[in-house]
Structure 1
Amino acid sequence: MKLVIFDVDGTLVDSQAHIVLSMAAAFEAVDLPVPDRNTILSIVGLSLPLAMRELARAVDETTLVRMVEAYKDAFYTHRLAQGAAASPLYPGAEEAVRRLGARDDLYLAIATGKSRRGLTALLDGWEFADLFVTTQSADDHPSKPHPSMVMTCLMDTGVTATEAVVIGDTTYDMEMARAARCHGIGVSWGYHGREALIGAGAATVLDDFGQLEGALKTIWKD
């Protein structure tokens, strides 16, 4: 058996507007200037406390905790108001997951910097969510690029690292894959650029989900 591990934000779903809105609320809650959009999106993939620290390095821990809670509150409120529209699937994402999920030689998994609550809310809206045999969130692991989430996926499925691939849009995903001794495939529609993904160890970078199965075949051709 082989294993395909998907990142979520920037890979399966386009949540950038939701993230930017929530991060703006976090900074406004403590009367700090809001970072620009590109700066905010550059930290997507890290667990929330670490991402917040990257964006607000000068604040004390008490303020940081307030910002994290303000982000969570805004994210939750926006999700309730918008439903699935807050984090729509990218074109071709559902079809690609369903095609892979129908194969008898693959397991599918998720490794995300989202909280468990956020991930559960997202999965509850996906009719294909049961295709993922194991899902790992930031609540239970060190932040990416630490390999803990991938290692847990490997243990849960019994698949060896060489037979596993991480698919993600950030350098954190590719570095996580490399740290776990897995393959990494980048996607160009997310939050980090093609050159950065290749530099972080991506075997290839997809321009659309239609290229995914061909990329997997190339990686596992031996």
Structure 2
Amino acid sequence: MQTRPYDLLIFDWDGTLSDSAIHIVDCMQRATRALGLAECSAANIRNMIGLSLQEVIQRLYPGITSGQQRELIQEYREEYLLRNWRVTPLFAGARQTLEQLRDAGYHLAIATGKSRRGLECELAEHDLQDLFVLSRCADETLSKPDPLMLQEILTDYNTSADCALMIGDTEYDLQMAANIGMAALAVSYGAHDRERLLALQPIACLDAITELPAYLNDLKHCPQ
């Protein structure tokens, strides 16, 4: 019997489905200015998109105290979710692609460096809650590239890594999948460039999310 190449498709959010990099960078720079910290470049912040907020701050400001880390986390969240809140757009065709995949019988999940509150706000703004069977956020588990959030998704869905595909725009997504023995597919339009992604040997690197259904359809189907 022929079947889909994967049953569960696990998407990163920022940089894969949501075009949020400019907003993330702006809020982080606003937060650091508010606390009197040296401002990081947009490139350095963009490079960290996909990691948990705590991990980002530890990498950007390794010399600050734990108290300053907590203050910066709180300041960033207030900037992103309150003072500077805006609906970040989805990449062109993302909604239609997700609906097409769901209608083709795939089950969809999210593994993101966002907080639960941040993800739920954006899913609600785009009315996407019903498209995903599961999600895991960085404030509920360990940060990428640790594979724990993928393991938790697999456990909750009662499936194995070889039945799932991770889809993301950063090396953190690809490393996380590799760390659990899961196939990964990269997209080239997000935070990390194509050359950097290809170094981690994803099964493919697509230039638009809209290419995903056709790519999956063309994969050799495995016996069930």
Q: TM-score range by the shorter chain?
A: over 0.9
Q: Which residue pairs with 1:169 in the alignment?
A: 169
Q: Which residue among 24, 32, 35 is the counterpart of 2:29?
A: 24
RCO comparison, higher one (Cα < 8 Å, 6+): 2
1:162 is aligned with what amino acid? D
| Paired position in structure 1 for 2:52 | 47
**Where does the alignment leave 5 or more consecutive residues of structure 2 unmatched?**
1-5
Secondary structure of the corresponding residue to residue 124 of structure 1: helix
Q: Residue 60 of structure 1 corresponds to which residue in structure 2?
A: 65
What is the CA distance between 1:4 and its match in structure 2?
0.2
**Structure 1 length normalisation: TM-score?**
0.92
Q: Distance in 2 between matches of 1:175 and 1:12?
A: 19
CA drift at 1:159: 2.4
Report how many aligned residue pairs link the two structures: 217
Q: Give ranges in structure 1 of 5+ residues lacking alignment.
A: none
Distance 2:84 2:100 in 1: 28
In the alignment, does 2:102 pair up with 1:101?
yes
1:155-182 Cα deviation digits (max 9, x unpaired): 2222221121011000000001111211
State the TM-score, normalizing by the size of structure 2: 0.91
Aligned residues of 2:57 and 2:69 also touching (Cα < 8 A): yes
Partner of 2:3: none
Whole-Å separation in 2 of the counterparts to 1:183 and 1:220: 14
* Secondary structure of residue in 2 paired with 1:110: strand
The Cα offsets for residues 109-168 of structure 1, whole Å up to 9 and x where unpaired, read as 000000000011011122332110001111111000111111122122222211210110
Cα distance, 1:61–1:153 mapped onto 2, change above 3 Å? same
Query: 1:201, 1:146 → 2: CA distance?
Result: 18
* Contact 1:20–1:40 (CA under 8 A) maintained in structure 2: yes
SS at match of 1:125: helix
- Residues 78 and 97 from structure 1, CA distance in 2 versus in 1: closer, same or farther, beyond 3 angstroms? farther
Matches within 5 A, 1:11-160: 11-78=16-83, 80=85, 82=86, 84=87, 87-104=88-105, 106-160=106-160
